[in-house]
Structure 1
Amino acid sequence: MIGTRGVPARYGGFETAVEEIGRRLADAGHEVTVYCRGERHPDRMYLGMRLVHLPAVKKKVAETLSHTALSVTHSAARRITRRGPDAALVFNAANAPLLPVLRAMRIPVATHVDGLEWKRTKWSGSGRRYYLAVERLAVRWSDALIADAVGIRDYYQEKFGAESVFIPYGAPILEGADAGKLAEAGYAPGGFHLVVARFEPENHVHLAVEGYRRSAARKPLVVVGSAPYADEYTTRVRELAGDDPRITFLGGVWDQDLLDSLYAGALTYVHGHSVGGTNPSLLRAMGAGASVLAYDVNFNREVLGEDAGRFFGDPAALAQELEAAEADPGHAADRGEEARKRAAERYVWDDIARDYERLCEDLAERRLTRRTVRPKR
């Protein structure tokens, strides 16, 4: 498993997917290697997965690709000694320029293409052109494409005529908030609204803050998250909050028990993500039974359906939803239970791991090749 920060999962959706899928593949008897960067786990094994720590250039435009370059080189070298992998899972289409290294060593590869990265405002000019180009390279050089949302699968089919394997993320199911954890942080169940997001414009943290400020909500807004390389946007968000005493910025919360309790204890969870596929933060909120107010895009409607959430497109609409939740918290709680039920039925890690197992077996047996990604017309 190549192209993420690795495990233990402390950062984002890719890392959580690697941990949840990898541990289950290891439990099923497969040898799983995860390439990692950043904070080093003290052991070479974690939950049955073998960890390989390699460095990366600490710059936005080079961090992922530099680490993946070392990872694919290491994996290819293992192949030379006949200890290499039967299949490789590469996360993020940005790593597509390095796929020929794996192909040269006859390592079949599936690329998880993620969301529509070129739409993210942090990439402009050459960065945007790069992400548009690597989508095409992922189609050209992958034996399989993995799409975590139907919307992503449809995008690759319509733009490139490319087939994808649809495998979403899973949702952890929580039965309730840890009242003690919340109390330590100064909150009570049902006593606050929540935002959890990296501070990037396409995640609409600014819209969440502006919509909340426009509302007559009495319960506080708790904002969890930050972002490397996003000082300008972070400043903008804090300026929008101004001196409103109802808004609290917690920064990154790395205590998973506290974060889970915040999801489960929130009156509403405001989800502004717009350019990804199936978003792990949204699934975690659903699994915690949070009443979701989501930015109105096809990806979020796909995950929530029609009954497990409410949608907004501007600050005024969000303000109305926040006020409605406070006016009728029982209805908001019922919507949260509907979200938890949907998550438990549709987004199950055991099922997802079995889908990845079948995918890897198909790769190893050469039942998937570049011809199955982009059939000849």
Structure 2
Amino acid sequence: MKIGILGTRGIPNHHGGFEQFAEFFAVHAQTEGHDVFVYNSHNHPYQEKKYKDVTLIHCYDPENKIGTVGQFIYDLNCIKDARKRNFDIILQLGYTSSSVWGRFLPKKATIVTNMDGLEWKRSKYSKKVQKFLMYAEKWAIKTSDYLISDSIGIQDYIKTKYDVTSKFIAYGSSIFSPSNEKIIANYDLIPNEYFVLIARMEPENNIEMILDGFVKSNSKKTFCVVGNAETTIFGRYLKEKFSKNKNIRFIGAVYDLNFLNHLRCYCQLYFHGHSVGGTNPSLLEAMGSRALIAAHKNVFNKAILEEDAFYFKSVDEVSNLMISINKQDNLIKIENNISKIREKYNWPIINEQYLDYLIQCRNDQHN
């Protein structure tokens, strides 16, 4: 098949979850003999025309000049280009700024959309934007031939609200084996003497709650916050609020997976505050990196972690976890999460599920 992948800033990953997935899946599908094209922002740091035999199409993206509106222009540019390519399958990753252009998608291609999380619930958006995103969700469903949900919670939501079926396929991860403690020593960190969270600096990721809990605990450990705190108002607010606490370190955005895995592996407790959306890639990576996890208590996180994590929903609960939980007493939870990655969420399985489903969608539409 000739497959076009829309909805990311591009590969190799320099941004987030969809980009990470697109990188792994595109290379897999290309290796399996399909002709794969990934749309990249013209600003992407990787400017080659090929990445591991996958064709990259760089489209004009003015987001860095005009802000969020630029995402809509970039998506439109990608869709306009896709109309010329005679794709068999278009795999759309998300719909936030693309579904408004859904009517322009190529008619001959089979359109398969990953519905992402409940975007309209994100507190970073104003009421007007949230209302628009509810329409965008509806447009995505209307202009897609087939849908993918990355969590059972999202699958149930789409079925209940729209009476439409979607295919559940989670994200993937891999199992990490630590190789060198010096990697974290370079950051003046000592194994099991620090906590960590990795997230975009957005309110719904409960970073403020977690850091308030850390302050309340009076812990002498270090708290590492990984994520770009400079690009959002909320991120700058957090950095300013906690600037006087010398044990809280904002180390910025990091995309070196080897370092991130070591960082998670050697921490005392990994905090996952995401409260909106489906299967979050950073959660699966934390599971695969042998971290002991404390997660925000919600249906999405519990569906993945089950009983193999600690849960919180308040500053006091975060503080209590930091005071009372010892990693060495809970190694069984870590091993259980490793088993989940091995049996359900590893990249080879996820890539095969996606490719099989795309082939099935194309066949069903032409039978």
1:57 to 62, 83, 96: 62
- Looking at structure 1, the residues matched to 25 and 201 of structure 2 have their Cα atoms a distance apart, in angstroms, of 27
CA shift for structure 1 position 48? 2.3
Task: Please name the residue that 2:157 is paired with.
Answer: 155
Give the match's secondary structure for 2:175: coil
- Looking at structure 1, the residues matched to 139 and 342 of structure 2 have their Cα atoms a distance apart, in angstroms, of 35
Q: Which moved more, 1:21-30 or 1:122-131?
A: 122-131
- Contact map agreement 2:112 2:144 (CA 8 A) in 1: yes
Q: Does 1:323 align with 2:334?
A: no
1:274-285 counterparts in 2 under 5 A?
A: 274-285=275-286
1:1-377 counterparts in 2 under 5 A?
A: 1-37=5-41, 38-58=43-63, 59-78=66-85, 84-94=86-96, 95-103=98-106, 105-176=107-178, 178-226=180-228, 229-231=231-233, 233-306=234-307, 308-325=308-325, 328-367=326-365
Task: Please name the residue that 1:372 is paired with.
Answer: none
Residues 108 and 133 (structure 1), Cα distance of their counterparts in 2 relative to 1, 3 Å cut: same
- Looking at structure 1, the residues matched to 352 and 254 of structure 2 have their Cα atoms a distance apart, in angstroms, of 31
Residues 228 and 235 (structure 1), Cα distance of their counterparts in 2 relative to 1, 3 Å cut: closer
CA shift for structure 1 position 368? 8.4
- Looking at structure 2, the residues matched to 112 and 192 of structure 1 have their Cα atoms a distance apart, in angstroms, of 36
Q: Which AA in structure 2 matches 1:66? A: I
Q: Which runs of 4+ in 1 moved over 6 A?
A: none
Residues 366 and 70 (structure 1), Cα distance of their counterparts in 2 relative to 1, 3 Å cut: farther
- Looking at structure 2, the residues matched to 126 and 181 of structure 1 have their Cα atoms a distance apart, in angstroms, of 45
Give the match's secondary structure for 1:21: helix
Per-residue CA deviation, residues 234-281 of structure 1 (Å, 9 max, x unaligned), is 233234424122111101123332222111111110010000100011
Residues 190 and 177 (structure 1), Cα distance of their counterparts in 2 relative to 1, 3 Å cut: farther
CA shift for structure 1 position 336? 2.2
Number of equivalenced pairs: 359
Q: Which ranges in structure 1 are unaligned for 5 or more consecutive residues?
A: 79-83, 370-377
CA shift for structure 1 position 27? 0.9
- Contact map agreement 1:3 1:67 (CA 8 A) in 2: no
CA shift for structure 1 position 228? 6.6
Residues 228 and 130 (structure 1), Cα distance of their counterparts in 2 relative to 1, 3 Å cut: farther
CA shift for structure 1 position 227? 5.3
Per-residue CA deviation, residues 39-95 of structure 1 (Å, 9 max, x unaligned), is 2424211122110111212244323221111111111012xxxxx211100111221
- Contact map agreement 1:177 1:260 (CA 8 A) in 2: no
Per-residue CA deviation, residues 353-376 of structure 1 (Å, 9 max, x unaligned), is 11111222123224389xxxxxxx
- Looking at structure 1, the residues matched to 165 and 153 of structure 2 have their Cα atoms a distance apart, in angstroms, of 13
Per-residue CA deviation, residues 95-114 of structure 1 (Å, 9 max, x unaligned), is 112222224x3211011110
- Looking at structure 2, the residues matched to 212 and 88 of structure 1 have their Cα atoms a distance apart, in angstroms, of 45
CA shift for structure 1 position 177? 5.6
- Contact map agreement 1:290 1:337 (CA 8 A) in 2: no
TM-score by length of 2: 0.93
Q: Which AA in structure 2 matches 1:265? A: Y
Give the match's secondary structure for 1:259: helix
Residues 60 and 116 (structure 1), Cα distance of their counterparts in 2 relative to 1, 3 Å cut: farther
Q: Which AA in structure 1 matches 2:226? A: V
Residues 193 and 340 (structure 1), Cα distance of their counterparts in 2 relative to 1, 3 Å cut: same
Q: Which ranges in structure 2 are unaligned for 5 or more consecutive residues?
A: none
Residues 294 and 6 (structure 1), Cα distance of their counterparts in 2 relative to 1, 3 Å cut: same
- Looking at structure 2, the residues matched to 65 and 226 of structure 1 have their Cα atoms a distance apart, in angstroms, of 22
Q: Which AA in structure 2 matches 1:244? A: N
Higher RCO (C-alpha under 8 Å, 6+ residues apart) = 1
Residues 264 and 148 (structure 1), Cα distance of their counterparts in 2 relative to 1, 3 Å cut: same
Q: Which AA in structure 2 matches 1:311? A: Y
- Contact map agreement 2:292 2:327 (CA 8 A) in 1: no
Q: Which moved more, 1:19-28 or 1:355-364?
A: 355-364
**Identity percentage of aligned residues:** 29
Give the match's secondary structure for 2:201: coil
CA shift for structure 1 position 331? 1.5
CA RMSD of aligned residues (A): 1.7
TM-score by length of 1: 0.91
Give the match's secondary structure for 2:196: strand
Per-residue CA deviation, residues 167-215 of structure 1 (Å, 9 max, x unaligned), is 1000121022631211111112222100111100000110110011111
